[in-house]
Amino acid sequence: MRYGVVVEELAIEVMAQLPDDQARQEVMALVEVARLDPRAWPDVRDPGSVEEIREAFGRRCWIQFMPHAGAIEVRDIGWVGLTPC
C-alpha cells in the first residue's frame, strides 16, 4: 500500500502497458482524486454483492476501485486514449 492506495495485479499490468509516463501520470492523478473522495463516484456493484465497487472517470482513463477506511483498492484500469496530448 502506498499513500492509501492498493493496486491489484490486473491494474499493475495495465499500467505497464500504457503508452508513456504522461498516460501513467494521468491515471495516477485520477487514482488520487478517487482516494480523496471515494464515495463521490458511482457504485457499480452487481445486485446482491457485498463488495462496494466504484468507478471513477478521467478524460482518457477510468478506474474501478473498492473504498476502504482511508484507502482505496484499485482493481482495474482502462485507457481510451491512444496517445496523450
**28-82 per-position pLDDT tens digit:** 999 999 999 999 999 999 999 999 999 999 999 999 999 988 889 999 999 997 6
DSSP state of 51: S
Neighbours of 55 (CB within 10 A): 16
Grid coordinates in use for 76? 482495474
Q: What is the pTM of this model?
A: 0.85
Q: Is 69 helix (H, G, I), strand (E, B) or coil?
A: coil
- CATH T-level assignment (fold) for domain 5-79: YaeB-like fold (3.30.2310)
Look at residue 84 and tell me whether its pLDDT is greater than 70: no
pLDDT of residue 7: 87
